[in-house]
Amino acid sequence: MKEILGKKLGMTRVFIESGEAVPVTVLQAGPCPVIRKKTREKDGYDAYQVGFGQRREKLVSKPMAGLFTKSNVEPTRYLKEVSYDESDLEIGSELKVGIFKEGERVDVTGVSRGLGFAGGMKRHGFSGANKTHGQSDRWRAPGSIGQSSYPSRVFKGLKMAGRMGKDRVTTLNLEIIKIVEDENLMLVKGAVPGFKGSVVKIRSTNRG
């Protein structure tokens, strides 16, 4: 298992050797300094706490500043835990995009774009009501949500209008088309969740 934090920069297309145009998402993967190491003996599980992005020192709380000082690392904007197969990563070392290779497949986790309040047709793909029999204002309505005699209430979890998006989403088994190590860039085939500039977690996939 290999994991790294990154940032979604946008989408473009590249041409592969066969001449086919492939849509890709450009990700900035790392560098991620290792802040802390968690062990099964002390914490109950194995993981590394890594940072990503830059943050001004005056915006960092004193406890967090002490953690960065102890690790001899500049303050970072984000701090998350990642899994990594190797158990000999040194505190203060950096995880970079070079841990992945072109042709590998990865899972990308991010927060989807928030689309605000949405109706049933947009949120769940409802077809809408008939435009006949005098229903001039029911074209985009969800329809009946419960009967009067039974169950005389609305069941929990019923598909209705509501907040759409801004959920934690993982896109699985994406192929790495190209890696630019000098700029810590990774180009993966297809789309990944989130808006431009949002933080994502990239991990090696366990799908065949």
Q: Are residues 55 and 89 in the same domain?
A: yes
Q: Using one digit for the tens of pLDDT, what is the confidence trace for 149-165?
A: 888 888 898 999 999 99
Determine whether 138 is exposed, middle or buried from the number of CB atoms within 10 Å of its CB (0-12, 13-18, 19+). middle
Strands 21-29 and 32-38: unpaired
Q: What's the pLDDT at 74?
A: 85
Answer whether residue 148 is part of any domain.
no
Q: What's the pLDDT at 113?
A: 92
Q: Are residues 40 and 90 in the same domain?
A: yes
Q: Are residues 9 and 87 in the same domain?
A: no
Contact 118, 161 (CB under 8 A): yes
Please determine, for residue 169, whether its predicted confidence score (pLDDT) is greater than 70. yes
Contact 8, 44 (CB under 8 A): no
Answer whether residue 134 is part of any domain.
no
Q: What is the pTM of this model?
A: 0.79
CA distances from 90 to 21, 46, 80, 96, 153 (A): 41, 14, 17, 14, 58
Query: Strand, helix or coil at 150?
Result: coil
Answer whether residue 153 is part of any domain.
no
The helix/strand count (H/E) of the chain reads as: 3, 12
Q: Are residues 165 and 124 in the same domain?
A: yes
Q: Which domain holds residue 88?
A: 31-95
The CATH number assigned to the domain holding 43 equals 3.30.160.810
Which residues are CB-contacts of 168 (< 8 A; sequence separation ≥ 6)? 109, 110, 111, 112
Answer whether residue 69 is part of any domain.
yes
Q: Using one digit for the tens of pLDDT, what is the confidence trace for 56-110?
A: 888 888 888 888 888 888 888 888 888 877 667 788 788 888 888 988 999 999 9
Residue in the block written with tokens 């229903």: 135
Residue in the block written with tokens 């003996």: 41
Q: Using one digit for the tens of pLDDT, what is the confidence trace for 185-204?
A: 999 999 999 999 999 999 98
Helix (H) or strand (E) holding 185: strand 185-189
| Chain center to CA of 41 | 30
Answer whether residue 50 is part of any domain.
yes
Q: Give the closest residue to 175 by CA, choosing from 190, 185, 195.
A: 190
Answer whether residue 144 is part of any domain.
no
